Structure 1
Amino acid sequence: MNLRFVAGTEGFDLRIGDRVVLRHSESCPALVMARGNPEVVMYRGNFRISDKPFEELVPLAWRQCEGGVELLDSGAPVASIVLAGNSFEIRAADPAHDRLRIRFHAEAGECVWGGGEQMSYLALNGRNFPIWTSEPGVGRDKSTELTRRMDAEGMAGGDYWNTNYPQPTFITSRWIAVHLDASFYSVLDFTDPAGHLVEVWSGAARFEVFSADGPQDLVGQLSTRFGRQPELPEWAIGGAIVGLKSGASSFDRLEKFIDAGAAVSGLWCEDWAGIRETSFGRRLFWDWHSGERSGARYPQLHERIQALEARGIRFLAYANPYIAVDGDLYQEGRAGGHFCLRRDSDEVHLVDFGEFDCGVVDFTREETCAWFAERVLGREMLDIGISGWMADFGEYLPTDLRLADGSDPMEAHNRWPVLWAEVNARALASRGKTGDALFFMRAGFSGVQAHCPLLWAGDQSVDFTRHDGIGTVITGALSAGLVGNAYSHSDCGGYTSLHGNVRTEELLHRWCELAAFAPVMRSHEGNRPDDNLQYDSTPDLLACFARWSRVHAHLAPYVRHLCTEARESGLPAQRPLFLHYPQDSALFTVQDQYLYGADLLVAPVVEEGARRRQVVLPGTGIWRHCWTGEDFAPGTHDISAPIGQPPAFYRPDSAFASLFAGLKGVLEG
Structure 2
Amino acid sequence: MQLIVIDGGFEIRHNETLLFAHTAAQPAFFVGHGEEKMEIYRGNFDIEDYLESRVALTHARIDGDKIHLSAAAGQPEMLTATLHIDGDDFKFAFEAHDASLNRCWIRLPAQKKEHIWGCGEQMSYFDLRGRNFPLWTSEPGVGRDKSTEITFKADSMKAGGDYYHTNYPQPTFVSSRKYSAHIETTAYADFDFRHNNFHELQVWAIPAELQIKTGATYLDLVEKLSAQFGRQPKLPEWVYNGAILGLKGGEVNTFTRMENALNHGIKVSGVWSEDWCGLRVTSFGARLFWDWDWKHHQDRYPNLPEKIKELNERGIEFLGYVNPYLCNDGQLFPVAKEKGYLALDKDGNVALVDFGEFDCGIVDFTNPEASKWFQDVVIRENMLNMGIKGWMADFGEYLPTENVYLSNGVDAKLMHNAWPTLWAKCNAEAVEANGQTGDALFFMRAGYTGVQRYCPLLWAGDQSVDFTRHDGLVTVISGALSSGMLGNAYHHSDIGGYTSLFGNRRTKELFDRWVEMAAFTPVMRTHEGNRPGENFQFDQDGATLAHFARMTRVYTHLVPYLKSLVEEASAKGYPVQRAMMLHFEHDPETYANQEQYLYGADMLVAPVHKPGVDEWTTYLPAGTDWVHAWTGQKITGGQRITLPAPIGQPPVFYRADSAWKELFAGLTSL
TM over 0.5: yes
Q: What amino acid does structure 2 have at the position aligned with 1:354?
A: G
Structure 1 residue aligned with 2:444 = 441
In the alignment, structure 1 residue 656 sits paired with structure 2 residue 660: yes
Structure 2 residue aligned with 1:484 = 487
In structure 2, which of residues 113, 119, 132 is the aligned counterpart of residue 115 of structure 1? 119
Once residues 280 and 239 of structure 1 are traced to their aligned partners in structure 2, the CA distance between those partners, rounded to angstroms, is: 34
Classify the secondary structure of the residue corresponding to 1:291: helix
Once residues 387 and 228 of structure 1 are traced to their aligned partners in structure 2, the CA distance between those partners, rounded to angstroms, is: 21
Please tell me whether the aligned partners of residues 8 and 60 of structure 2 are also in contact (alpha carbons under 8 angstroms).
Answer: no
Once residues 304 and 319 of structure 1 are traced to their aligned partners in structure 2, the CA distance between those partners, rounded to angstroms, is: 20
Go from structure 1 to structure 2 and tell me whether the alpha carbon gap of 1:586 and 1:526 turns closer, same or farther (over 3 Å shift). same
Once residues 542 and 641 of structure 1 are traced to their aligned partners in structure 2, the CA distance between those partners, rounded to angstroms, is: 19
1:11 Cα deviation from its structure 2 partner:
2.8
1:338 Cα deviation from its structure 2 partner:
1.5
Structure 1 residue aligned with 2:366 = 364
In the alignment, structure 1 residue 124 sits paired with structure 2 residue 128: yes
Structure 1 residue aligned with 2:293 = 289
In structure 1, which of residues 336, 340, 344 is the aligned counterpart of residue 343 of structure 2? 340
1:610 Cα deviation from its structure 2 partner:
2.5
1:280 Cα deviation from its structure 2 partner:
4.5
In structure 1, which of residues 500, 504, 508 is the aligned counterpart of residue 503 of structure 2? 500
Structure 2 residue aligned with 1:626 = 629
Please tell me whether the aligned partners of residues 35 and 97 of structure 1 are also in contact (alpha carbons under 8 angstroms).
Answer: yes
In the alignment, structure 1 residue 569 sits paired with structure 2 residue 567: no
Once residues 99 and 369 of structure 2 are traced to their aligned partners in structure 1, the CA distance between those partners, rounded to angstroms, is: 34
Structure 2 residue aligned with 1:381 = 383
Q: What amino acid does structure 2 have at the position aligned with 1:390?
A: M
Structure 2 residue aligned with 1:94 = 98
Structure 2 residue aligned with 1:59 = 57
Q: What aligned pairs does 1:246-645 form with structure 2 within 5 A after superposition? A: 246-248=249-251, 249-293=253-297, 295-342=298-345, 344-400=346-402, 401-634=404-637, 635-645=639-649
Structure 2 residue aligned with 1:145 = 149
In the alignment, structure 1 residue 47 sits paired with structure 2 residue 38: no
Please tell me whether the aligned partners of residues 525 and 534 of structure 1 are also in contact (alpha carbons under 8 angstroms).
Answer: yes
Which has the larger displacement, 441-450 or 641-650?
641-650
Please tell me whether the aligned partners of residues 160 and 467 of structure 1 are also in contact (alpha carbons under 8 angstroms).
Answer: yes
| TM-score in terms of structure 2 length | 0.97
In structure 2, which of residues 171, 178, 183 is the aligned counterpart of residue 180 of structure 1? 183
Please tell me whether the aligned partners of residues 589 and 621 of structure 2 are also in contact (alpha carbons under 8 angstroms).
Answer: no
1:474 Cα deviation from its structure 2 partner:
0.6
Classify the secondary structure of the residue corresponding to 2:167: coil
Q: Which sections of structure 1, spanning at least 5 residues, go unmatched?
A: none
1:474-522 CA-to-partner distances (Å, cap 9, x unmatched) read 1100100000000000000110111111111110100110111100000
Once residues 492 and 53 of structure 1 are traced to their aligned partners in structure 2, the CA distance between those partners, rounded to angstroms, is: 43
1:278 Cα deviation from its structure 2 partner:
4.0
Cα RMSD between the aligned structures?
A: 1.3
Once residues 307 and 457 of structure 2 are traced to their aligned partners in structure 1, the CA distance between those partners, rounded to angstroms, is: 26
1:611 Cα deviation from its structure 2 partner:
2.1
Please tell me whether the aligned partners of residues 8 and 59 of structure 2 are also in contact (alpha carbons under 8 angstroms).
Answer: no
Structure 1 residue aligned with 2:30 = 32
Structure 2 residue aligned with 1:11 = 9
Go from structure 1 to structure 2 and tell me whether the alpha carbon gap of 1:204 and 1:302 turns closer, same or farther (over 3 Å shift). closer
Once residues 532 and 236 of structure 2 are traced to their aligned partners in structure 1, the CA distance between those partners, rounded to angstroms, is: 29
1:395-440 CA-to-partner distances (Å, cap 9, x unmatched) read 0111120001111111111110111111111111111100011101
Structure 1 residue aligned with 2:137 = 133
Once residues 337 and 454 of structure 1 are traced to their aligned partners in structure 2, the CA distance between those partners, rounded to angstroms, is: 31
1:376-402 CA-to-partner distances (Å, cap 9, x unmatched) read 000000001111001111101111200
Classify the secondary structure of the residue corresponding to 2:646: coil
Please tell me whether the aligned partners of residues 95 and 203 of structure 1 are also in contact (alpha carbons under 8 angstroms).
Answer: no
1:554 Cα deviation from its structure 2 partner:
1.1
Q: What amino acid does structure 1 have at the position aligned with 2:397?
A: E
Once residues 520 and 233 of structure 1 are traced to their aligned partners in structure 2, the CA distance between those partners, rounded to angstroms, is: 11
Once residues 520 and 637 of structure 1 are traced to their aligned partners in structure 2, the CA distance between those partners, rounded to angstroms, is: 28
Go from structure 1 to structure 2 and tell me whether the alpha carbon gap of 1:201 and 1:4 turns closer, same or farther (over 3 Å shift). farther
Classify the secondary structure of the residue corresponding to 2:436: coil
In structure 2, which of residues 223, 230, 233 is the aligned counterpart of residue 230 of structure 1? 233
Q: Which sections of structure 2, spanning at least 5 residues, go unmatched?
A: none
Query: Runs of 4 or more off by more than 6 Å in structure 1?
Result: none
Once residues 292 and 524 of structure 1 are traced to their aligned partners in structure 2, the CA distance between those partners, rounded to angstroms, is: 25
Please tell me whether the aligned partners of residues 281 and 527 of structure 1 are also in contact (alpha carbons under 8 angstroms).
Answer: no
1:204 Cα deviation from its structure 2 partner:
4.0
1:559 Cα deviation from its structure 2 partner:
0.7
Q: What amino acid does structure 2 have at the position aligned with 1:381?
A: M
Once residues 130 and 281 of structure 1 are traced to their aligned partners in structure 2, the CA distance between those partners, rounded to angstroms, is: 33
1:576-604 CA-to-partner distances (Å, cap 9, x unmatched) read 10000112222110000000001110000
Please tell me whether the aligned partners of residues 389 and 440 of structure 2 are also in contact (alpha carbons under 8 angstroms).
Answer: yes
Please tell me whether the aligned partners of residues 6 and 14 of structure 1 are also in contact (alpha carbons under 8 angstroms).
Answer: yes
Classify the secondary structure of the residue corresponding to 1:491: coil
Which has the larger displacement, 131-140 or 91-100?
91-100
Structure 2 residue aligned with 1:646 = 650
Please tell me whether the aligned partners of residues 126 and 192 of structure 1 are also in contact (alpha carbons under 8 angstroms).
Answer: yes
Q: What amino acid does structure 1 have at the position aligned with 2:256?
A: D
Structure 2 residue aligned with 1:81 = 81
Q: What amino acid does structure 1 have at the position aligned with 2:151?
A: T
Structure 1 residue aligned with 2:66 = 68
1:23 Cα deviation from its structure 2 partner:
1.2
Q: What amino acid does structure 1 have at the position aligned with 2:651?
A: P
Go from structure 1 to structure 2 and tell me whether the alpha carbon gap of 1:204 and 1:463 turns closer, same or farther (over 3 Å shift). closer
Q: What amino acid does structure 2 have at the position aligned with 1:605?
A: V
1:43 Cα deviation from its structure 2 partner:
0.6
Please tell me whether the aligned partners of residues 240 and 553 of structure 1 are also in contact (alpha carbons under 8 angstroms).
Answer: no
Please tell me whether the aligned partners of residues 236 and 265 of structure 1 are also in contact (alpha carbons under 8 angstroms).
Answer: yes
Once residues 148 and 161 of structure 2 are traced to their aligned partners in structure 1, the CA distance between those partners, rounded to angstroms, is: 11
Please tell me whether the aligned partners of residues 282 and 527 of structure 1 are also in contact (alpha carbons under 8 angstroms).
Answer: no
1:345 Cα deviation from its structure 2 partner:
1.4
Task: Give the share of equivalent positions with the same residue, in percent.
Answer: 50
Please tell me whether the aligned partners of residues 624 and 656 of structure 2 are also in contact (alpha carbons under 8 angstroms).
Answer: no
Once residues 156 and 237 of structure 2 are traced to their aligned partners in structure 1, the CA distance between those partners, rounded to angstroms, is: 46
1:208 Cα deviation from its structure 2 partner:
1.1
1:279 Cα deviation from its structure 2 partner:
4.8
Classify the secondary structure of the residue corresponding to 2:388: coil
Once residues 617 and 517 of structure 1 are traced to their aligned partners in structure 2, the CA distance between those partners, rounded to angstroms, is: 17
Once residues 360 and 140 of structure 1 are traced to their aligned partners in structure 2, the CA distance between those partners, rounded to angstroms, is: 28
